[in-house]
Amino acid sequence: MVQPTRHPAPGPWARELEVATSQATLSGLFAAPADGGPPRALIVALHGMQLHAGYFDATTSPGLSLLEMASAAGFCVWAPDRPGTRASAGLDDEHRLMRPQADLLLEALDAVAAGHSVGAGVFVVGHSYGAKLAIAMLARAGERSFLGLDINGCGIGLGHGADDTSGRMQSLVIAGDRGPSWGPASLYPKGTISRARLPIDTYRPLPINETLLWPADFAEFAPRLCVPIRVTYGDHERWWPTDEASLVAVRQAFVGSPRVTVHMLQGAGHNLGLGWAAAEHHRAVLEFASECIEAAAPHGPSQSDAAAGDASSV
């Protein structure tokens, strides 16, 4: 099946990549190291609801794209279109639920790793619903190993801007605000929040409201993760609570991780990967990926380095 042209078009550092699994073919974007050499690691980047992989290739203003920045830093990046979007839009309802999606992505990752060098290993990045999928993937990974996990826009329970019984946002009016997924328009380059520039996909509601199930799912998945974890929230986040107690609860939930840090990113909303803050955020993602590569090396990090990293946690 020929897919319609991705809109907006990806930057010159990225190419389309289709990956066949036993359940569906996943489309997505792939970026190789810009210098043509072997990759330092493979970054898997998972986007959120109503979007496609272009979320990680923001081109409204130079320097915001994770794919471009990671490619320049010697990484390869696979950003799949989440199961149920673009090439896999016809996936049945059962396989669009979180656990089947996570399993399908793990199978697709095996195929990508079989056909491409992954360097030191696989590092996972997730935004919003993609962060939930990333957590589910690592919890259900079996014998597969990962370098680390960097997620943003995801917590345990819905924030103060949501109706806890329905999962829908309340009608909160905030001057200059573009809604809970965005925050103030000033956080984004001009034209970002326009139909012409948004990396959106035709939205099919999930067969069940997984938002209501997430606190229990998170409680099941989080203790299984045993890799370093970095969590980020924009200071204009409205989907998830960002008070100190909530952030501490998120950090403490990952009891099996050797290192968990939680960060607040100034000048950022929920969709921070499309805003001015994306450049700072993506630099921090790549720095963390580099730290995870170092930690996974045979000699590992020094105890003082590990202690210094833990000290930055909320």
β-sheet bridge partners, residue 71: none
Q: What percent of the chain has pLDDT over 90?
A: 78
Q: What is the pLDDT of residue 69?
A: 98
Q: What is the pLDDT of residue 134?
A: 98
Q: What is the pLDDT of residue 301?
A: 58
Q: What is the pLDDT of residue 304?
A: 38
pLDDT digits over 220-243, tens only? 999 999 999 999 999 999 899 999
Q: Which residues contact 275 (CB under 8 A, 6 or more apart)?
A: 64, 187, 188, 189, 192, 234, 267, 268, 269
Residue in 193, 24, 167, 13 with CA at minimum distance from that of residue 92: 24
pLDDT digits over 123-171, tens only? 999 999 999 999 999 999 999 999 999 999 999 987 654 444 444 444 4
Q: What are the φ and ψ backbone dihedral angles of 258, each rounded to 5 degrees?
A: -75, -15
- Residue 172, pLDDT > 70, answer no
- Stated as kind and residue range, the H or E segment containing 3 is none
Contact between 209 and 81 (Cβ < 8 Å): no
Average predicted confidence (pLDDT) for the chain: 90
pTM: 0.91
CB atoms within 10 A of CB 44: 25
Q: What is the pLDDT of residue 168?
A: 44
Domain 15-310 -> CATH class: alpha beta
Q: Which residue has the higher pLDDT, 69 or 167?
A: 69
Q: Which residue has the higher pLDDT, 82 or 305?
A: 82
pLDDT digits over 18-68, tens only? 999 999 999 999 999 999 999 999 999 999 999 999 999 999 999 999 999
Q: What is the pLDDT of residue 176?
A: 67
Q: What is the pLDDT of residue 257?
A: 98
Q: Which is it for the CA torsion 51, 236, 278, 9, positive or negative?
A: positive
Residue in 143, 200, 229, 228 with CA at minimum distance from that of residue 7: 200
